[in-house]
Amino acid sequence: MISWLILLLLIGLAACRDSKDGFDEFLSIKPLQDGRVDTAFNFTISDQDISPHSHLFPLPLVNLLTSPELDIDELHLSLSAGRWDYDKWHYPTFPQLGSSGAEVWVSHKSDRSQEKWNRVVHRISGLFCASLSTSDNTNHLLLDDKTWTYAQISSQLPCTENLTPFIALLPCKSAAGLGQLLNPHKIFDADYHSLALSMFNQGSGARLEIKVEAVFNPARVDQQRQYSTKAMFDRTVKQKCELADSSMVYFGLPPPPGEELNQDVWVVLPEDHEGEVKDGTIELDLMTTSKQLGLALIWPFQETFIYPRYTTKPPIQIRRDQIAGPVEETFTMKITIENTQDEDAQVSYLQSIPWQVKPWLHTFRIYGDSSSDSTSFKHNQAKADKEPYSLQVNTTLAPHSETIIECIYQRQFLKYTDYAPDIHRGIDIPPGFIRFEADNMTKVAYTTPMLVDLATPDFSMPYNVIIITSTVVALFFGSVYNILVRDFQLIPKKESKSD
Ligand SMILES: *[C@@H]1O[C@H](CO)[C@@H](O)[C@H](O)[C@H]1NC(C)=O
Ligand SMILES: *[C@@H]1O[C@H](CO)[C@@H](O)[C@H](O)[C@H]1NC(C)=O
Ligand SMILES: *[C@@H]1O[C@H](CO)[C@@H](O)[C@H](O)[C@H]1NC(C)=O
């Protein structure tokens, strides 16, 4: 009898384990050519059947994904600060990152609507302590296919309290596994950092990816290129996360030292690490290792790190410049896309421009080396008042060529009430980006955000006038009124009572 019970119990346990919940995590650390270090965390939770009783899938996101009024099919959120330097760092480990500010992409199962978008934005703003709701109605962009909506807010930078909700979604929080390395003091001190989340609805199940990417600069403090996991995160992985199916560290190694350039010799410490070296990367499985994580890369013959004078360029580069003129209220936006490869490249460029700035479409032109018959573009003029304008260009770049997209924009005169607070700072034009295929992957490269001065009235003037007028009136009126209504009376001199 008891053996039957045990058997049933075992079968039950096996069935529980079989529900195909999965949690995988990895950390990739790669040296960059200018002495910086790219670190990228990827935490993936998948669940075949999401319900409020899900084992690993975080409850707040279950509610978000199963809510019929939000109707989410896919959602991407990223919060980034700093500038990703494509010239020296090439592309980020995670293709969608590299922007500055906040970015939200939402796709619905059925058609989108303003109401759904507002609800989604408010819910995720609350969940991730980010003020995304400034994108309520004037900032977001509707993409061509009926379901996608996206918004960029380049002034919304992440800060320490944004990391906490991301850590709270991890099954082991920051108590075990790679989550222990998410040290806000270090990550927010990095040259570039980005927190991102992607959710995919998959039938009755769902998949969640939490990504954190940061670029550290070990040479900043003591001109030493050497770095270690311990120094970068100021923490170590003390114990593995028992809920994880896999927990990997990919520790990238620099190219092997040249025979003659003796100073480029590097060494990995500790020498008896338990990782496996594959294609210039140490792969360390934290589920089987017996030691705490502590890998270091040192250059023993290098006294101080000298920044390289030449760096290799990424295959495709993009730059966006603002040129004043030709008239005072206008400026020219010039987007340069460069292909440094030996092959053609098919790219697709997208940018959105806030409604406060208006394009002069007759000045729009694309020139350069790419053939014009492979180029198509589309302006999405605002249909309603205060909708952003968007530009989409698809083109094929010839090998070793430069393509330029140029247009003149006019800064609009706005109604008094349409000016945002602190308008003297200018308005932000979110980064534009290109998408292209490289190494069988879709890559994205962003431009930097742009700040445009608007023609702003001097908002303090009315107050100055009111204050001065009030003062003058108060002084004048006060004394005149005083004189007019003062009642003068003769007071008879009193007889002295002494006699
Ligand atoms: C993150 O890891 C998961 C599982 O290992 C993988 O399927 C996914 O492609 C990774 N995401 C990225 C952006 O590399
Ligand atoms: C550019 O390409 C994308 C995807 O390949 C497509 O969805 C879009 O409609 C194209 N845009 C133009 C203007 O041709
Ligand atoms: C890309 O995919 C093609 C075909 O699928 C394959 O032949 C090629 O080797 C892949 N290239 C890389 C860099 O993985």
Each residue's pLDDT tens digit, 436-466: 998 888 999 999 999 998 888 888 888 899 9
Least confident of 4-18, 188-202, 418-432: 4-18
> Could you tell me the distance, in angstroms and rounded to a whole number, from the CA of residue 409 to the centre of ligand 2?
23
**What is the Cα–Cα distance from 177 to 172, expressed in whole angstroms?**
7
Tell me the H-state helices in 18-107. Answer: 59-66, 86-89
Percent of the chain past pLDDT 70, that is, above it, reads: 91
Residue 392 CA: nearest ligand 2 atom is: 13
- The residue with greater pLDDT, 319 or 8, is 319
Tens of pLDDT along 18-28?
456 899 999 99
Number of folded domains that form the chain: 3
How many other CB atoms sit within 10 Å of the CB of residue 178? 26
Q: Nearest Cα to 450, choosing from 337, 324, 320?
A: 320
DSSP for residue 255: P
Q: Which residues line ligand 1 (CB under 6 A)?
A: 24, 42, 44, 94, 209
> Could you tell me the distance, in angstroms and rounded to a whole number, from the CA of residue 362 to the centre of ligand 2?
22
> Could you tell me the distance, in angstroms and rounded to a whole number, from the CA of residue 470 to the centre of ligand 1?
66
**Helices 114-128, 160-168: inter-axial angle, 10-degree rounding:** 100
Can you give the residue range of the structural domain that contains 368?
A: 316-452
**pLDDT at 15 exceeding the cut of 80:** no
Judge if 323 and 245 occupy the same domain.
Answer: no
DSSP for residue 413: P
Judge if 275 and 368 occupy the same domain.
Answer: no
If you take atom 3 of ligand 3, which residue's CA is the nearest one?
Answer: 440
Cβ–ligand 2 distance for 394 under 6 Å, the answer yes
**CATH number of the domain residue 378 falls in:** 2.60.40.740
Task: Render 43-98 in DSSP notation, one character per residue.
Answer: EEEEESS--TT-SSS-HHHHHHHH-TTT-EEEEEEEEEES---HHHH-S-SSTT--
Tens of pLDDT along 134-154?
644 556 777 766 788 888 888
**Residue in 150, 378, 390, 392 to alter for ligand 2 test, most ligand atoms within 8 A of Cβ:** 392
Cβ–ligand 2 distance for 144 under 6 Å, the answer yes
Judge if 133 and 55 occupy the same domain.
Answer: yes
Judge if 287 and 357 occupy the same domain.
Answer: no
Q: Nearest Cα to 83, choosing from 319, 415, 324, 265?
A: 319
Among 298, 329, 362, identify where a domain stops. 298
Q: What does the pLDDT read at residue 362?
A: 92
Q: What does the pLDDT read at residue 388?
A: 84
If you take atom 3 of ligand 1, which residue's CA is the nearest one?
Answer: 44
Judge if 430 and 468 occupy the same domain.
Answer: no
Among 269, 298, 327, identify where a domain stops. 298
> Could you tell me the distance, in angstroms and rounded to a whole number, from the CA of residue 44 to the centre of ligand 1?
7
Residue 378 CA: nearest ligand 2 atom is: 13
> Could you tell me the distance, in angstroms and rounded to a whole number, from the CA of residue 438 to the centre of ligand 3?
10
Judge if 211 and 329 occupy the same domain.
Answer: no
Q: ∠ CA(179), CA(180), CA(181), 5° rounding?
A: 90
**What is the Cα–Cα distance from 31 to 308, expressed in whole angstroms?**
13
Residue 403 lies in a domain: yes
- The residue with greater pLDDT, 148 or 321, is 321
Label the pairing between strands 389-397 and 433-438.
unpaired
Residue 6 lies in a domain: no
Q: What does the pLDDT read at residue 421?
A: 78
Tens of pLDDT along 337-391?
999 999 889 999 999 888 889 899 999 999 887 666 778 888 877 777 778 888 9
> Could you tell me the distance, in angstroms and rounded to a whole number, from the CA of residue 62 to the centre of ligand 2?
33
Residue 439 CA: nearest ligand 3 atom is: 13
Among 298, 328, 354, identify where a domain stops. 298
Q: Which ligand is nearest to the CA of 27?
A: 1
Q: Which residues line ligand 3 (CB under 6 A)?
A: 439-440
Q: What is the mean pLDDT of the chain?
A: 86
Who contacts 231 (Cβ-Cβ below 8 Å, separation ≥6)? 218, 296
Residue 120 lies in a domain: yes
Judge if 258 and 335 occupy the same domain.
Answer: no
If you take atom 7 of ligand 1, which residue's CA is the nearest one?
Answer: 44
Contact by Cβ (8 Å): 150, 159: no
**Residue in 343, 440, 441, 442 to alter for ligand 3 test, most ligand atoms within 8 A of Cβ:** 440
Judge if 254 and 374 occupy the same domain.
Answer: no
Q: What does the pLDDT read at residue 118?
A: 87
